[in-house]
Amino acid sequence: MSNQIFHSYVKQQAFTLIELLVTVAIVAIISTVAVPAYTDYSERIKVEQAILDISKIEMRIEGFIPTGSSHYPDSLAEIGMNDFLDPWGRPYQYLNLSNPKIPGIKGKARKDKNLVPVNSDFDLYSLGKDGRSVAPFTASASRDDVVRANDGRFVGLASKH
């Protein structure tokens, strides 16, 4: 009699095919919800890091200017930030708009939906997730850029400007 109990106990230890299929289905459903949520969370963290980085670089640029002068650095190398990478592994983009020595510099400035430059002093931005950008914020290549605008009063996604 005890031998029969042992054999029935052993048989109940194994999973049936239906139990395994149900378990796999539950794991698949959870992962279809969890993976996109994690990816979205991860991207938001990268955007927040780029905002902090741009604010840090902006402070270094502002600290570079001698008292009573309006001369901004011509490149991020002048303030030791040329090797500073954004969260996507690309260098931050900088353009000194106040340098009259560079012909056509104003034409390269970042622009809002009305094609008006968003800064009068300098542009500073990350190319964002896709690594592409063009001057107007409304262009699809620029929507994911993390930008400094309104002469530093706005730092965030170009799509939210």
Q: Which residue has the tokens 């794991």?
A: 27
Residues 93-103: tens digit of each pLDDT:
999 988 767 66
| Structural element, H or E, at residue 123 | strand 122-126
Residues 54-73: tens digit of each pLDDT:
999 999 998 887 655 568 88
| Total-model pTM | 0.75
- Say if CB 146 and CB 125 are below 8 A apart: yes
Q: How far is residue 119's CA from residue 96's CA, in Å, rounded to a whole number?
A: 10
Q: How far is residue 12's CA from residue 7's CA, in Å, rounded to a whole number?
A: 9
Q: How far is residue 84's CA from residue 154's CA, in Å, rounded to a whole number?
A: 21
